[in-house]
A and B are shown apart, each in its own frame.
Chain A
C-alpha cells in the first residue's frame, strides 16, 4: 500500500513537471475564427512563453458574471470600453501592471486595470460609386436627402449601436432628440448587431452603414476595393477600444503578467491592424503596416469616461428610442 502511494506520488509529480503550463484566455466570440486575431496571438505568445495558450470564447461579461470567483480565466481579452465599469465591479481583476504612458491612443488613458489593445471610432461608411457628395459633417448628415438610406445598430443589443447614441449625445447634448428626429427619415432600419447592418450595406440595400473608421481598411487591404470610405466629421467621432484584464485569482500570475507585457510588444501591436481590422493601441503611426497611416481618421475624438457614460447612457437610449418610434 505504501509502495503504491509512493509510486502514485512520483507519477503525479513527474506528470505535473512534464506538463506545459496553460494560460486560459477568455476572448470575444469572433476572436478565434481563422481570420480573427486569436490564432496569430496564440502562435506569437507561445513562441516566447514556454506555455500553452488556450482561448475560450463566448459572451464575455455574462460568462464572467455567472462564473464569478469560479472562473477558469487567467486573462480576459476583448472587454469593450462600455463594459469596463461592470467588469471592474466584479472585483475579479488585478492591475494590469503596464505603463499607460506607452499607449498611443488619441485620448488620455489612466486606467490601471483594463489595458487597451486596439481602438477605433464610430463612423458612417459609404460607397463612393453610389454617393457622389458624401456628408462632410454631422450637420450635413442630418440634412441629407431622405432618399439616402442609412442602416444602424440597436443600442440595446449592440456595442456599436450604443456608441452611436453616445456619439450623438456627445455632439448634440440636449438637442439629441432633435438630431434623431432629423435623421429618422434616412434610417432604413435598425439591426440587432453590426454584422447584419454591414451585410445590408455590402448587399446594396442601404447606402450608408454605421461602422468604424477602420472598416475601409478591410476593403482596401483584403479586397483591393478602394470605393468604401468613412465620412469624417469635424464635430468628432466616438472612441471605442477593446481591453485586456488580468484575473486577480489566476493560478498563473507570471504567465498572465507576461501576456500583458506581450500585448504592449511591437510584435503583438503590428499584427492587430490586419488581424483585427482596428488600430493598434501602443504603436507610433510611422510603424503601422503599409498604407494604414493614409487611412482618413478624425481630428477630434469624443469619449465618455465610464462614470460619465453611466450617467447619460439610459437617457441617451431612451431619447433614441422615442425619436425613432414616432
Chain B
C-alpha cells in the first residue's frame, strides 16, 4: 500500500525555475544591502539577548498553537453543523489582521481594562496581567492557531473516506482509529505546521514588543527595523537579516527532517462520514473545543468590528481609494503566487528531498524591509524606485505567502501524483493537459485556500510599501496608520474594519471557489 510518489513528466523544469527565481530575488536583495556595508559589523550583548528571546518565544508560540490546533482540527473534521463553513472562514481572520488592530482587539478582551479584567474585578480580583511572555504567546496563538487548525484539518481530510468507512465497519474504537489512521497523518502534517508558525513568529516585532511589556521582549526583527529605518546602518541590517535567515532555515530543515516518507493511499474523493465518532462523550469533547476556539478567536474580532462600525462614517474618501489600490495589489499578488506555488509544489511533491521545502520557508524569514531596501538599491541606478512601489509590493507579498501556499498544496499534490501519476504517464498526459485534467481539479480545494490566504495577507501587509510609498499610491494599511498618526483613532478603526472586510471577502471568494467541490 505504501508507495513512493512516481515522478512523471510535467515539464518539471518549471518548478525548479520558479523556486530558483524566488531564491535569487531574496539573495540579490541581501547582497545589495550587504554591498553598502561598512565592515566590520559587531553584535552586542543586547543582540544576543534579542536572539535568545526571539527563538524562545517563537518556539513556545508554535508549540502552543499546534497543540491546541490538533483537538480543534479533529473536532472540525468530525463534525458537520450549520455555520461550519462560515466559522472556518472567520477562523482565517486573525491571521490577516494588521498587527496593531489585532493587538487592540486582544486588549479589549484580555487587557488591563479589558472584559476579563473587569469580570475579575467584580469578584474583587486584580486585573489580568497580559504584558510579558504570556502576552506574546497569547497574541501569536491568536494569529496562528487558525492557520495551524486549517493546515491540520486539511491533512485530516486527505485521509480517504473509505478508510473511515472501513474502520466503522470493523467497529474500531476511537483510540485504534487514532493510532492507525490519525497519528500517521499528524506525524506528517504537524512538523511542517510547527516550522511554519515558528518562522512566522521569528519575524514578529510590534506585537512582541507591545504585549511583551518592553525591551525584555526585543526580537531580531526589531533590531533589523532599527538598523534600517532609524540608524540606517545597512551592514548591521544585513548581518541581522542573515542571522534571522539562518535561524529560520535551521528550524525549517530540522522540522522537515522529521517528516516521514510519504505514504500516500488510494482514495475515491468521497465526502467523509465519520462512523467512529458518534458517542456522546466525543460529541461533547468536540463541541467544547470548537466553542473554545471560536470564542477565543471571534470575541476580539467582534470588539474590532464594534469599534470600527462607529468610525466608518468618519473615514475620508482617501480610505476608499486606498482600499481599491490594496484590492488590485492583492489580486496581482495572488496571480503571481499561484504562478509560483503550483509548479513549485508539484516539483517538491515529486522530489524525495524533503528539505527542499525549507527553501520556501527561508523566503518567509526574509524581512520585508530587507527585501524592499535591497530592491530599492538595485532599482535606483536605473529608475525611480517609487514607480515600482506597487509592483514590488505585490511581488514581495506573493513571496511571503509562498511558504504557506506550498505547505497547503503539498499534501494534495503528493496524493495526486501517487494516485494518478502512473495512470497519467501511461496515458501520455503531460504539460497543460495534465494540469487541466488531472491536477487542478484535485488540488482545487487547497489552491483556493492558498490563494485566499495570499490575497488576504497582501491586503493586510504594510511591509515594503512604507519605504517605497508615494502619496497617491497608498495602500489601505498605510492609510490606516496615517489616520492613527493624525489622532483620528475612530476613522482608523473604521479603516481597520474595512480592511478586515476586504481581506476576509477576498479570502472567502477564493476559498469558496476551492471548496465548491471539495469539502474544506
Contact = CB atoms under 8 A, between A and B. Distances in A.
Interface stretch (B81-89, B211-219, B290-298, B358-366): B211-219
A68 B232 CA distance: 13
A32 B474 CA distance: 10
Residue from A31, A38, A57, A222 having most chain B Cβ neighbours under 10 A? A57
Contacts of B471: 27, 31-32, 38, 54-57
B466 A59 contact: yes
A95 interface: no
Interface stretch (B5-13, B222-230, B266-274, B437-445): B222-230
Interface residues of B, number: 59
Contacts of A192: 205-206, 209-210, 222, 225
B486 A35 contact: yes
B113 A58 contact: no
A252 B317 CA distance: 32
B316 interface: yes
A283 to B, nearest CB: 21
Contact of B483 (A33, A57, A68, A203): A33
A157 B229 CA distance: 8
B380 A205 contact: no
A277 B222 contact: no
Contacts of B468: 58
B131 interface: yes
Contacts of A149: 112
A205 B112 contact: yes
Contacts of B484: 195-196, 198-199
Interface in A142-174: 149, 154, 156-157
Given A29-B478, A34-B316, A195-B481, A324 B216 contact: yes
Contact of B213 (A29, A57, A189): A189
Contact of A59 (B211, B212, B467): B467
B386 A56 contact: yes
B373 interface: yes
A325 B214 contact: yes
A30 interface: yes
Q: Is the interface of B mostly helix, strand, loop or mixed?
A: helix
Given A62-B232, A62-B373, A66-B377, A203 B108 contact: yes
A191 interface: yes
B213 A188 contact: yes
B214 A324 contact: yes
Contact of B467 (A62, A154, A199): A62
A190 B213 CA distance: 6
B467 A33 contact: no
Given A222-B487, A325-B214, A156 B226 contact: yes
B339 interface: no
Contacts of B481: 29, 195
A303 to B, nearest CB: 20
A57 B469 contact: yes
B131 A188 contact: yes
B215 A320 contact: yes
Q: Which range holds the interface residue count of chain A?
A: 35 or more
B49 interface: yes
Contacts of B35: none
A305 interface: no
A238 interface: no
Contacts, number: 156
A58 B466 contact: yes
B384 A157 contact: no
Interface string A255-289: 00000000000000000000001000000000000
A45 interface: no
Given A63-B467, A67-B380, A157-B225, A33 B215 contact: no
Contacts of B386: 56, 58
A202 interface: yes
Interface in B181-222: 205-206, 209-216, 218, 222
A312 interface: no
B166 interface: no
Contact of B486 (A27, A33, A61, A156): A33
A220 to B, nearest CB: 12
A203 B469 contact: no
A205 B117 CA distance: 11
A321 interface: yes
Interface in A14-35: 27, 29-35
Interface stretch (B99-107, B138-146, B278-286, B421-429): B99-107
A204 interface: yes
B488 interface: yes
A112 interface: no
B54 to A, nearest CB: 15
Contact of A156 (B111, B222, B470, B488): B222
Given A321-B215, A325-B215, A58 B470 contact: yes
A314 to B, nearest CB: 10
B49 A205 contact: no
Interface string B301-321: 000000000000000111000
B367 interface: no
Contacts of A86: 232
A200 B466 contact: no
B124 interface: no
Interface string A55-78: 111110111011110101000000
Contacts of A67: 380, 385
Nearest to B212: A189
Contacts of A156: 222-223, 226, 230
17 contacts: A33-B486, A34-B316, A35-B486, A56-B386, A56-B470, A58-B466, A58-B470, A59-B467, A66-B376, A67-B380, A68-B380, A72-B384, A190-B209, A192-B209, A196-B206, A277-B486, A320-B215
3 pairs of A and B residues whose beta carbons are closest in the complex: A195-B484, A34-B316, A33-B482
Given A32-B482, A61-B229, A189-B131, 11 more contacts: A58-B466, A59-B467, A62-B373, A62-B467, A65-B232, A67-B385, A68-B380, A70-B380, A189-B210, A189-B211, A199-B489
Interface of A: 27, 29-36, 38, 54-59, 61-63, 65-68, 70, 72, 86, 149, 154, 156-157, 187-196, 198-200, 202-206, 215, 218, 222, 277, 318, 320-321, 324-325
